Amino acid sequence: MAQGTLESFLRMSIRGMASMAAHDRRSDAIGSRIKKTFHKRQVAEMIGVGLSTLSRHEKESASWPEGTVIGRERVYSLEEIMLMRAILAASPKPRVEPLAWRAPDDPLPVISFASQKGGTGKSLSAAHFAQYLSLTYGMRVGLIDADPQHTLSLYFASPEQRDGVPYRDYETLVDFVGLFMDPETGAPLSTHTPEKLNGCWIDTPWPGIRLIPANIETSEGEIQLARLMQARVQDPPLYMHTKRAIDRWSAAYPPLTDPSTLADGDGVVDPARFADALTETLDVIVIDYQPALTIFQLNNLVASTHLVIPQTMKGFDIATLEAFLVKLLDYIEDVLSTNTALSIGTGEHVILPTIVQRSNDTDLEQIGAMMEACPGAVSPVFYLRSDAVANAADLFQSAYEFEPSAGQRRGLKRFIDNANAVNDALVAKIWPGRERGYAQSWIDENYGEEDA
């Protein structure tokens, strides 16, 4: 390539990237999602009911979805499964919560997945956790992608994102919290109306899951905060922007619908009312951090009730984790010293080992040592290294939506069982009593008597 300006280099590189076959493959995958369907036995397990319960409601409810017959199986889409939940929730004395929605007085959990370095499975863990909450509990999940690399956003990309740079023209967390300055007055745009805040959430192909996506402009958060510091704007404090925006939005959009009222006595669901209920509020917010600890990311920490730290077990990574924890503590102590009325992270928190090689004694020894040195802080259920994740990630899909080839099915099932166990362990910390037993089964299978 002839010597030229940086501008010409960038233009040439962008054109080349846009024409790559890999880009077309990604676009096809995103455009076709989500086509995965689930047969009746899978649906029963996800909801937590017996096959006989599904069969009875199928006969009695006028709104029961028909599904699609493929071979000898009748299969159901995500939307159809969510409709089944609404019908089951309205039945007399359901044995489980088909729709585990927040009650009007319940607080809104904000769960952050954070790490100091990339490559720890942070975005993957956040994406699978959000999808697990949807599949298993029918929760309405809000995703905030705070990482300019926007990996989490790609996991939930809609067909409209198939061309060009995903989410280029969408509002990000920087817009949501009001950090951009008014170009005419120079004043920070920090007091959006609740309606404006609500407009930042966009629908995803997953029913009930909405997203504030990331793009390269998400990195502007730190720059805008620096400008506020230079302008000596201290209202709100620099670390309170995310919390204030979430609190302002959630106060204006509380839970209103009782799931037991979604269907009438004949099991008929009003589609419009159900659609409104799916978007009236959120039952939980999941934030995916940028792999760094900055003032902008401190905003997300202050807004969070729970912290999950995905962490690989290599020697250098453990040293990085220690530095990350020390800096987190420094930040929190500084904030609390100036704002004694503030509570940060009032829920349960956990270090989640990831990409663990079962055959690598060093990985397992590190986990054991950390569990002994930090009682209760390290999850005994962790993500094992899996080729199934790489196969799914090639198509920007999660394991929960990936359709494997015949040779990939066994590996994918192992990873899904692993993901269910990890997510069940997280549910046990955040919503004690709602766990399904997947974590305990995994512990029983993977730990010897001397480890128990």
| Amino acid 189: pLDDT | 59
Asked whether residue 292 carries a pLDDT value surpassing 80, the answer given is yes
| 46: in domain | no
| 76: in domain | no
| Amino acid 25: pLDDT | 45
| 56: in domain | no
- Quickly state the pLDDT bin for 144 (edges 50, 70, 90): very high
| Amino acid 185: pLDDT | 62
Mean pLDDT, residues 294-301: 90
pLDDT in tens, 216-241: 888 888 888 888 877 777 778 889 99
We report the CATH number of the domain holding residue 419 as 3.40.50.300
| 19: in domain | no
User: In which domain, by residue range, is 209 found?
Assistant: 99-446
3-state secondary structure the chain: CCCCCHHHHHHHHHHHHHCCHHHHHHHHHHHHCCCCCEEHHHHHHHHCCCHHHHHHHHHHCCCCCCCEEECCEEEECHHHHHHHHHHHHCCCCCCCCCCCCCCCCCCCCEEEECCCCCCCCHHHHHHHHHHHHHHHHCCCEEEEECCCCCHHHHHCCCHHHCCCCCCCCCCCHHHHCCCCECCCCCCECCCCCHHHHHCCCEECCCCCEEEECCCHHHHHHHHHHHHHHHCCCCCCCCCCHHHHHHHHHHHHCCCCCCHHHCECCCCCECHHHHHHHHHCCCCEEEEECCCCCCHHHHHHHHHCCEEEEEECCCHHHHHHHHHHHHHHHHHHHHHHHHCCCCCCCCCCEEEEECCECCCCHHHHHHHHHHHHHCCCCECCCCCECCHHHHHHHCCCCCCCCCCCCHHHHHHHHHHHHHHHHHHHHHHHHHCCCCCCCHHHHHHHHHCCCCCC
- Quickly state the pLDDT bin for 449 (edges 50, 70, 90): low
Mean pLDDT, residues 398-404: 88
| 33: in domain | no
Q: Tell me the percentage of the chain whose pLDDT exceeds 90.
A: 50
| 215: in domain | yes
Tell me the pTM: 0.90
| 195: in domain | yes
Lowest mean pLDDT among 9-13, 69-73, 218-222: 9-13
How many domains in the chain?
1
| 29: in domain | no
